[in-house]
Amino acid sequence: MDDAFLKPYNPAETEQRIYELWEQSGMFNPDNLPDAETRKPYTIVMPPPNANGDLHAGHALFITLEDILIRYKRMQGYRALWIPGADHAGFETQVVYEKKLEKEGRSRFKMQPKELYDEIYAFTLENKKNMEEQMRKLGASCDWSREKFTLDGDIVQRVQDTFIKMYEDNLVYRGKRTVNWCPKHQTSLSDVETVGMEETAPLYYFKYGPFTIATARPETKFGDKYVVMHPDDVRYKKWKHGQQINLEWINGPITATVIKDEAIDPEFGTGVMTITPWHDVTDFEIAKRHNLPFEQIIDWRGKLMPVAKEFEGMKILSARPEIIKKLTEKGLVVKIDEQYQHVAKRCYKCNTFIEPQVKDQWFVKMASLAQMALEAVNEKQVRFIPDNYEKIFRYWMENTLDWNISRQIVWGIPIPAWFKNRGTDKEESVVSHTRPEGDEWESDTDTFDTWFSSGQWPLLVTGYPDGKDYTTYYPTDVMETGNDLIFKWIPRMIIFGLYLGKKVPFHTVYLHGLVNDAHGKKMSKSKGNVISPITITEKYGTDALRMALVVGNTPGTNLSLNPDKVKGYKHFSNKLWNITRFILERTQEVDDDIILNEKDASIWEEMRAHTTEVTKHMENFSIHLAAEKLYHFTWHRLADEIIEESKPILEENNADTARSRSALLRRMLDQTLRLLHPFMPFITEEIWQKMKHKKEPMLMSAQWINTMETE
Ligand SMILES: [Zn+2]
């Protein structure tokens, strides 16, 4: 027996050494596995973490779950490939970097775009390197030789190719549309990057000529010259569409025109509204239907424009009471309802009120693409775990709007387009990789929404359309990710997979919940309750952390991570170490093919049934049940009962009985190590190495079931 077992198990001394052994073996690359060509491929694409900080507990969870699946499949004889990556994470990273600049008393608005880009690039690469080291500590058996970054040259080129293809296929268009504008971050945002919050605000009723109009946003009303009502509203029957009225308004007399439109809700306010097409999506649609002019009232920084006359340059929230004061003095305020309940959109990062603005942006036409994704799911080409997420997926696909893919930030993949006459309504555009002829063309300064590149990720990392990996490893098998990505990311990957690759990118979507603190509270820096997975690992060992993240963690639900629970699995590591010591010290080395006696054969039968059950749980993606079963069987059956009752048997003078029991215990240890390996890779490999297996030198690439001994 190796002397090492006389000392307690020490993860700090073991883990790095074992990881190096695996990495140096080359087996993370499935093409190096024995008989790789004859193995069936099994692929998981890692959701690329945002390269803008340390790994958090959520990362540790996905790394654990995906590593368990990959190790399990590798041991089952698959050509198991796990492709790691890192995401530049456009807006997310730029927000992190802007906060850093703010702390240093700097601002991105005072920097040249190139200078800012280069700084963020260096910052991201440093974080990426750091993250890779942390993934190694967590035991990730991914193929580093295939690692991809969303800003790698070939990835950028391919993402731009997709845009050009979609433009040629008439699936991308440039349009003046209402966008969600964050005045603080100076960029448009997609709908999923905004948060709608119930708020109580005053609703103002103003006299507008012969009408009373209601509005929650008096600061947008300066330019309003169109008064709109529902065509069937009998209260306003005498007013004809197109009729003009002279009236006194905020900054003096104006001529207003009556418009009849079915978009107006007769139940809201007085059933009469004026419209501000530039700053409201419904008003924009009304204006387009009736060919009415658009005028910007609020600038990109959230300040009033010259149309506001004396209020020009004021921020809207401070201008609002002043405007009400003036309207009151003019006798134009009818009443104010203080208890108006409505949903206000805010930026998901800075909580600033979103200002709807009309802007020329690139949009993806979603209707036909979403339909394609829905059909694939209807045909069960993609399965969701847990299955209730299919409903959420459907909801998003059935209610999707055209997707704004342009962002006004430097940190991202440039949109390959050129413009002539920028800033005028007669703007020409060309979409291509190369600049068009003539000096007057300017390149688009916008970058892609980060989901435009990550949506293509399974294709991009396998080398679509002609890469060798694309032929071998695409479509992939499982997409394991956080349940909050069911609408941000999953649908986009399915859409791009079907559109470009003509196949769904994966057959199974496995969704995990949040990792909360020990009390079930969301971890946040400001609350100071963040548990760093790396700190935990250094204290209790990675294997213990992995078990704590998996046991009791049903798919789709949130998990409370209690350090005491991790400590509990540290004891389990020690238990396994002690089981090994007992078996190696107290049993004899016997031939593999020895016939077990009747009692021992029945215990071995029990072990086989246990193996079958664990395998069944793994096949059903009940990873939590497999882990729990392994824990209980190993501790409470093998250690507490079988080993205890073996002590007198091994000491008996009956050589046959002792030999049979020795063979049984050694087989049980062997099989237990195999089953536990995906969950607790470090300690199991360490034991395996010390036991010096001749036929299977590394547990990582050994077989899941010890077939020789089960025949
Ligand atoms: Zn913002």
State the distance from the centre of ligand 1 to the C-alpha of 98, rounded, in angstroms. 11
State the distance from the centre of ligand 1 to the C-alpha of 187, rounded, in angstroms. 8
State the distance from the centre of ligand 1 to the C-alpha of 23, rounded, in angstroms. 42
Helix (H, G, I), strand (E, B) or coil at 424: coil
Average pLDDT over residues 132-161: 97
CA distances from 437 to 201, 414, 440, 443 (A): 53, 20, 9, 12
State the distance from the centre of ligand 1 to the C-alpha of 344, rounded, in angstroms. 14
Average pLDDT over residues 86-108: 92
Domain segments of the chain as ranges: 188-355, 539-710
Residue whose token pair is 């998996």: 550
Q: Taking a C-beta distance cutoff of 8 angstroms, is the pair 460, 99 a contact?
A: no
Round the CA-based radius of gyration of the chain to a whole number and report it: 32
Could you give the angle at the alpha carbon of 14 between the alpha carbons of 9 and 16, nearest 5°? 155
Token readout for 249 is 């308004």
Q: Taking a C-beta distance cutoff of 8 angstroms, is the pair 327, 215 a contact?
A: no
Q: Taking a C-beta distance cutoff of 8 angstroms, is the pair 496, 459 a contact?
A: yes
Neighbour-count burial for 102-139, b at 16+ CB within 10 Å, e otherwise: eeeeeebeeeeeeebbebbeebbeebbeebbebbbbbb
State the distance from the centre of ligand 1 to the C-alpha of 446, rounded, in angstroms. 17
State the distance from the centre of ligand 1 to the C-alpha of 95, rounded, in angstroms. 8
| Single-letter amino acid code for the residue at 409 | I
What's the pLDDT score for residue 708? Answer: 55
Q: In angstroms, rounded to a whole number, what is the distance separating the alpha carbons of residues 60 and 139?
A: 10
Q: Is it the case that residue 707 has pLDDT exceeding 80? A: no
CA nearest to 41, candidates 69, 77, 72: 77
State the distance from the centre of ligand 1 to the C-alpha of 191, rounded, in angstroms. 13
State the distance from the centre of ligand 1 to the C-alpha of 48, rounded, in angstroms. 23
Residue whose token pair is 């036929």: 695
Token readout for 221 is 């009303």
Average pLDDT over residues 337-362: 93
State the distance from the centre of ligand 1 to the C-alpha of 181, rounded, in angstroms. 8
Average pLDDT over residues 238-247: 95
Q: Is it the case that residue 694 has pLDDT exceeding 80? A: no
> Could you tell me the fold of the domain covering 539-710?
Isoleucyl-tRNA Synthetase; Domain 1 (1.10.730)
353 φ, ψ (degrees, to nearest 5)? -60, 135
Q: Taking a C-beta distance cutoff of 8 angstroms, is the pair 391, 517 a contact?
A: no
Average pLDDT over residues 475-490: 95
Helix (H, G, I), strand (E, B) or coil at 530: coil
264-301 pLDDT, tens digit per residue, is: 999 988 999 999 999 999 999 999 999 999 899 999 99
Average pLDDT over residues 391-402: 92
CA nearest to 382, candidates 469, 461, 478: 478
State the distance from the centre of ligand 1 to the C-alpha of 484, rounded, in angstroms. 20
What's the pLDDT score for residue 487? Answer: 87
State the distance from the centre of ligand 1 to the C-alpha of 150, rounded, in angstroms. 23
Helix (H, G, I), strand (E, B) or coil at 318: helix
- Written as one string, the DSSP assignment of 438-479 is STT-EE---EE-HHHHHTTHHHHHTTTTT-HHHHHH-S-SEE
CA distances from 643 to 490, 580, 709 (A): 48, 11, 20
State the distance from the centre of ligand 1 to the C-alpha of 300, rounded, in angstroms. 12
Q: Is it the case that residue 711 has pLDDT exceeding 50? A: no
Helix (H, G, I), strand (E, B) or coil at 49: coil
State the distance from the centre of ligand 1 to the C-alpha of 469, rounded, in angstroms. 39
**Percent of the chain at pLDDT exceeding 90:** 86
Q: In angstroms, rounded to a whole number, what is the distance separating the alpha carbons of residues 501 and 455?
A: 13
447-471 pLDDT, tens digit per residue, is: 999 999 999 999 999 999 999 999 9
- Pairing between strand 355-364 and 403-404? antiparallel
CA nearest to 28, candidates 80, 78, 65, 63: 80
Q: In angstroms, rounded to a whole number, what is the distance separating the alpha carbons of residues 12 and 554?
A: 30
Q: Is it the case that residue 164 has pLDDT exceeding 70? A: yes
Q: Is it the case that residue 356 has pLDDT exceeding 70? A: yes
Rounded to the nearest integer, the mean pLDDT of the chain is 94
State the distance from the centre of ligand 1 to the C-alpha of 107, rounded, in angstroms. 15
Q: Taking a C-beta distance cutoff of 8 angstroms, is the pair 508, 458 a contact?
A: no
What's the pLDDT score for residue 425? Answer: 59
- Return the DSSP state at 298: B
pLDDT confidence tier of residue 710, bands split at 50, 70 and 90? very low
Q: Taking a C-beta distance cutoff of 8 angstroms, is the pair 454, 150 a contact?
A: yes
Q: Is it the case that residue 191 has pLDDT exceeding 90? A: no
State the distance from the centre of ligand 1 to the C-alpha of 104, rounded, in angstroms. 19
Residue 180's DSSP bridge partners are: 189, 356
State the distance from the centre of ligand 1 to the C-alpha of 182, rounded, in angstroms. 5
What's the pLDDT score for residue 426? Answer: 66
Most confident option among 245-254, 413-422, 542-551: 542-551
Residue whose token pair is 């000392």: 7
CA nearest to 236, candidates 215, 217, 264: 264
Positive/negative CA dihedral, 120, 121, 125, 128:
positive
What's the pLDDT score for residue 422? Answer: 64
Average pLDDT over residues 312-319: 93
Q: Is it the case that residue 423 has pLDDT exceeding 70? A: no
State the distance from the centre of ligand 1 to the C-alpha of 359, rounded, in angstroms. 17
State the distance from the centre of ligand 1 to the C-alpha of 234, rounded, in angstroms. 43
State the distance from the centre of ligand 1 to the C-alpha of 279, rounded, in angstroms. 17
Average pLDDT over residues 132-140: 98
State the distance from the centre of ligand 1 to the C-alpha of 220, rounded, in angstroms. 21
Per CATH, the architecture of 188-355 is what?
Answer: Alpha-Beta Complex (3.90)
What's the pLDDT score for residue 169? Answer: 98
Residue 38: CA count within 13 A, CB half-sphere: 3
Q: Is it the case that residue 373 has pLDDT exceeding 50? A: yes
State the distance from the centre of ligand 1 to the C-alpha of 353, rounded, in angstroms. 8
Q: In angstroms, rounded to a whole number, what is the distance separating the alpha carbons of residues 407 and 413?
A: 10
- Pairing between strand 508-512 and 478-482? parallel
Average pLDDT over residues 516-534: 90
State the distance from the centre of ligand 1 to the C-alpha of 348, rounded, in angstroms. 7
What's the pLDDT score for residue 696? Answer: 92
State the distance from the centre of ligand 1 to the C-alpha of 356, rounded, in angstroms. 13
593-624 pLDDT, tens digit per residue, is: 889 999 999 999 999 999 999 999 999 999 99
Q: Taking a C-beta distance cutoff of 8 angstroms, is the pair 307, 301 a contact?
A: no
